[in-house]
């Protein structure tokens, strides 16, 4: 097991390794005294890693916790105020106090939802994250952004609320589908482009899907270290944290316009390519990064030409119109992130009216 400490408004540890679900109770009892704890998971994750006979449930019982469970229907549609309300009602009906806690066992949907419930129940109780997707592990579980979707858009209601501890058992990745691997991989490529070129080399050198032990743990820690450094500098996203949006302006628009047919990871992969190519075309960065990214993504199993064709068929005008509705647009301008070289990205404030032209030059 290896650890990384996050130092923001709260200090907490991320622990990663094989078999952690069996030791989770003991690890959690170091940061939380025995209390009521409610494991939140979706039905898929509960079937795989939760339930009363599971390693996590039993290890919490052994450590003296009074364990409750809440299970919801999988999917982004259920990252909602309704689901959060059900969690809050369960806590209230089970007489959870401010000393009790929540535990998110699942992907980013579960983590965001559970964190939001933790941030709001009695004005804030403690929670632990156990991410089970690669994306949740390298991205969503760290940094304290929690929230739910509103009918008007994704993540429109939320709070910054940091966990007490993040535990990742790398054994849970054995059940990830190819789509789920690609969702995580594109965020790892993003992390490498923003802050660590050696992460990009490591990703290219071996297939993460077949890695185990320290090789896998170290690779994940590299991606986490990039996010940790940024979040520590700018917890509330008023400055450098916006670098984490690299690929996401075009990416979110592609995801939305495809009716979510194109997964988040693939859409962000296409978004990184488009934003890099456009920045090169505009002369903001020297040439080569888009090509390097394209080669790496292809090596990692992304169908790059298909992705760009799909984005092209949506078209720059529709993508720009969709991106303008995104909450990353601040009034008349939008911050775009682009690579200067692997490991170094910059931000550029662009008038929203120029977005269509920007996307067109990247497509």
Ligand X SMILES: NC(=O)c1ccc[n+]([C@@H]2O[C@H](COP(=O)([O-])OP(=O)(O)OC[C@H]3O[C@@H](n4cnc5c(N)ncnc54)[C@H](O)[C@@H]3O)[C@@H](O)[C@H]2O)c1
- Considering the rule CB under 6 A, would residue 112 count as an interface residue with ligand X? yes
Question: Has 236 been annotated as catalytic?
Answer: no
Residue 152 near residue 202 (C-beta atoms within 8 A): no
Site for ligand X contains 107 (CB under 6 A): yes
Dmax of the chain from CA atoms?
60
Rank residues 139 and 280 by Cβ distance to ligand X and give the closer one.
139
Binding of ligand X by 6 (CB under 6 A) = no
Q: How many CB atoms lie within 10 A of CB 282?
A: 17
Q: Catalytic annotation on 149?
A: no
Distance, in Å, from the CA atom of 192 to the CA atom of 198, rounded to the nearest integer, reads 7
State the nearest-atom distance from the C-beta of 57 to ligand X, in Å.
16
* Site membership for ligand X, residue 255 (CB under 6 A): no
List the catalytic residue out of 145, 222, 242, 266: 145
The strand pairing partners of 301, in sequence order, are none
Verify whether residue 248 is a known catalytic residue: yes
Nearest distance from residue 310's CB to ligand X, in Å? 19
Query: What tokens appear for 125 in the block?
Result: 């109780």
**Shortest distance in whole angstroms from residue 134 CB to ligand X:** 8
Name the minimum Å distance from CB 180 to ligand X: 5
Indicate whether 104 belongs to the interface with ligand X (CB under 6 A): no
Q: Which residue has the tokens 């949506």?
A: 314
User: Does the annotation count 237 as an active-site position?
Assistant: yes
Stretch of residues binding ligand X (CB under 6 A), selected from 23-31, 104-112, 163-171, 331-339? 104-112
Q: Measuring CA to CA, which residue among 250, 246, 237 is closest to residue 311?
A: 250
Contact stretch for ligand X (CB under 6 A) within 93-101, 173-181, 210-218, 287-295: 173-181
* Catalytic pick among 78, 264, 266, 280: 264
From 133, 168, 186, 276, residue interacting with ligand X (rule: CB under 6 A)? 133
Contact 76, 260 (CB under 8 A): yes
C-alpha to C-alpha distance for 338 and 41, rounded to whole angstroms: 36
Which one among 140, 193, 224, 274 touches ligand X, defined by CB under 6 A? Answer: 140
* SS3 of residue 115 by DSSP: helix
Exposure string of 308-336, with b = 16+ CB inside 10 Å and e = fewer, is bebbeebebebbbebbbebebbeeeebeb
Which residue among 17, 25, 50, 108 contacts ligand X (CB under 6 A)? 108
Give me the DSSP letters along 304-333: HHHHHHHHHHH-HHHHHHHHHTSTTEETTE
123 an active-site residue?
yes
Taking CB under 6 A as the criterion, which residues in 36-95 touch ligand X?
42, 44-45, 48, 74, 76, 79
Strand 101-106 relative to strand 36-42, pairing: parallel
Binding stretches for ligand X (CB under 6 A): 42, 44-45, 48, 74, 76, 79, 106-110, 112, 132-133, 135-136, 139-140, 143, 145, 155, 172, 175-176, 180, 183
Residues with a catalytic annotation lie at 123, 145, 187, 227, 237, 241, 245, 248, 252, 264
């Amino acid at each position: 097991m290896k650890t990384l400490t996050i130092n923001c408004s709260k200090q907490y540890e991320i622990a990663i390794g094989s078999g952690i679900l069996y030791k989770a109770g003991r690890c959690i009892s170091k940061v939380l005294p025995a209390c009521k704890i409610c494991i939140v998971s979706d039905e898929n994750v509960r079937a795989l890693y939760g339930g009363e006979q599971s390693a996590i449930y039993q290890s919490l019982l052994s450590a003296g916790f009074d364990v409750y469970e809440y299970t919801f229907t999988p999917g982004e549609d259920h990252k909602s105020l309704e689901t959060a309300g059900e969690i809050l009602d369960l806590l209230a009906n089970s007489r959870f106090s401010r000393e009790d806690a929540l535990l998110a066992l699942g992907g980013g949907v579960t983590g965001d939802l559970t964190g939001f419930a933790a941030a709001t129940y009695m004005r804030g109780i403690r929670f632990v994250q156990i991410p089970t997707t690669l994306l949740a592990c390298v991205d969503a579980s760290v940094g304290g952004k929690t929230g739910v979707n509103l009918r008007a858009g994704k993540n429109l209601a939320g709070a910054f609320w940091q966990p007490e501890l993040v535990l990742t058992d790398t054994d849970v990745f054995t059940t990830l589908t190819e789509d789920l691997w690609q969702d995580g991989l594109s965020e790892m490529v993003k992390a490498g482009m923003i802050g660590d070129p050696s992460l990009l080399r490591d990703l290219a050198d071996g297939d993460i899907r077949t890695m185990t032990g320290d090789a896998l743990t170290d690779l994940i820690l590299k991606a986490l270290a990039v996010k940790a450094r940024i979040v520590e500098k700018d917890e509330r996203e008023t400055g450098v944290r916006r670098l984490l949006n690299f690929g996401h302006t075009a990416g979110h628009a592609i995801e939305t316009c495809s009716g979510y047919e194109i997964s988040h990871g693939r859409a962000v992969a296409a978004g990184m390519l488009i934003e890099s190519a456009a920045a090169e075309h505009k002369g903001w960065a020297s040439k080569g990064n888009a090509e390097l990214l394209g080669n790496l993504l292809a090596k990692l199993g992304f169908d790059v030409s298909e992705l760009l064709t799909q984005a092209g068929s949506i078209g720059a005008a529709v993508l720009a119109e969709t991106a303008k509705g995104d909450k990353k647009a601040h009034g008349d301008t939008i911050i775009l992130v682009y690579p200067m070289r692997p490991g170094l990205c910059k931000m550029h404030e662009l008038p929203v009216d120029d977005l269509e032209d920007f996307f067109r030059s990247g497509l």
